[in-house]
Chains A and B, each alone.
Chain A
Amino acid sequence: MEQLLFEYPDRKPIDRRAHAGVVGSGDLEVLLEPSPDGALHVRVRTSVDGYGQVWKNVIDRFATRFEGAATIEINDFGATPGTVMLRLEQAAERIRA
């Protein structure tokens, strides 16, 4: 298991939280909550070690589309980058809805 942290400053406040996914094989869960400090924090726990750069690419790209000041926790059980992005978008969609 590996832990990764990413931070993106200067975000817009959000007022809702959302949960998506399960920690099943090839899947992940995402917990998205408002962050009071105006930044986007992403904390990843993944069962697959050694993919830090791939995670950074995926989260960087998500951060260009999602502007909220949020704390995002990801519990990952070997999801592909596509599935990761899908779950992140799902959670983001729910706080916009």
Chain B
Amino acid sequence: MTARERARAVLDEGSFRELLGPFDRLESPWLPRQGIVPQSDDGVVIARGTFDGDRAVVAAIESAFQGGSMGEVSATKIACALDLARRDCNAGNTVRPILFLESGGVRLQEANLGLGAIAEIHAALVALRRLTPVVGVIAGPVGCFGGMSLAAALCTTLIVTREARLGMNGPEVIEQEAGITELDAADRRLVWSLIGGAQRHATGFADVLVDDHLPDVGRALREAFARGTPPRHRSADVDRYLARLHDLARTADGDAVASLTPDDLRAAWPREHTDDR
């Protein structure tokens, strides 16, 4: 599904209303100067509508355009959508924010401008999640990487499928930087056993594992909004995550941490310890 189809499908039928759509032509000013064809919405669909009758805003990243990378325009669109939702919530009009996070991270052609705008997404997300649950969905298979993996981690609830991937550096980047002996990015079984949706869920980095099926995603979203805002967000639990790393170094019997298998990690970081909802 394209980002626009996802946004339309998740909102109540007939309620989809796009903001800054293709005909507003808010495209990247930087790509054509580098000889790259831009897209008229810069790869992000922002839509207002209703979800289960409640006011909602969807930000959906189009993974087919430039790998879902975040440029100055696309990232700013998401940051502004979150900021507008915060203003509405502050005014007493609760908005349900839903993020489809299929992104390779920052768009390298836009470098610091993209990174700066991603930081604005993080700030807007943290401000908004105090008022209403912010729910992220990674459906795959592009996955969610770089600065946008931080946005995923900041979400009140993160929903993933088995096809999803979540990580800071993508497998291709790791292979290129550290060599094929470190990670063979073409080995799909290995890649998904490390950063795939099921592993991320089992080790408590994602909250809900669903089938790649719209009704299942819808149900998970409904439950996430029904749970409301937690007293403490996962990403605020710095001590717990530091302890995880600390304990890992000890349980590994002095071996290099790199020798841990995906199953070792599941044993060391079971989700019962990380998810008390």
Give A contacts to B, CB under 8 Å: 1, 17, 19, 22-25, 27, 29, 31, 33, 45-47, 73, 75-77
Residue in chain B with minimal CB distance to A23: B39
In the assembled complex, the Cα of A77 lies from the Cα of B43 at a distance in Å of 14
Instruction: Quote the shortest CB–CB distance from B217 to chain A (angstroms).
Output: 21
The answer, yes or no, to whether B64 is at the interface (CB within 8 Å) is yes
Given A27-B64, A31-B22, A33-B23, A75 contacting B40 (CB threshold 8 A) = yes
Whether B37 lies near A23 (C-beta < 8 A) is: yes
Using Cβ atoms and an 8 Å threshold, which residues of chain B touch A77?
A: 37
Whether B37 lies near A46 (C-beta < 8 A) is: yes
Given A75-B37, A76-B37, A29 contacting B23 (CB threshold 8 A) = no
A-B contact pairs, 28 of them (CB 8 A): A1-B32, A17-B23, A19-B21, A19-B22, A22-B3, A22-B39, A22-B64, A23-B37, A23-B38, A23-B65, A23-B66, A24-B62, A24-B65, A25-B64, A29-B22, A29-B39, A29-B40, A31-B22, A31-B23, A31-B40, A33-B23, A45-B32, A45-B38, A46-B37, A47-B36, A75-B38, A76-B37, A77-B37
A-B contact count (CB 8 A): 47
Give the size range of B's interface with the partner.
10 to 19
The answer, yes or no, to whether B35 is at the interface (CB within 8 Å) is yes
In the assembled complex, the Cα of A76 lies from the Cα of B38 at a distance in Å of 9
In the assembled complex, the Cα of A76 lies from the Cα of B35 at a distance in Å of 12
Task: Identify which of B3, B37, B39 contacts A1 (C-beta below 8 A).
Answer: B37
The answer, yes or no, to whether B112 is at the interface (CB within 8 Å) is no
The answer, yes or no, to whether B90 is at the interface (CB within 8 Å) is no
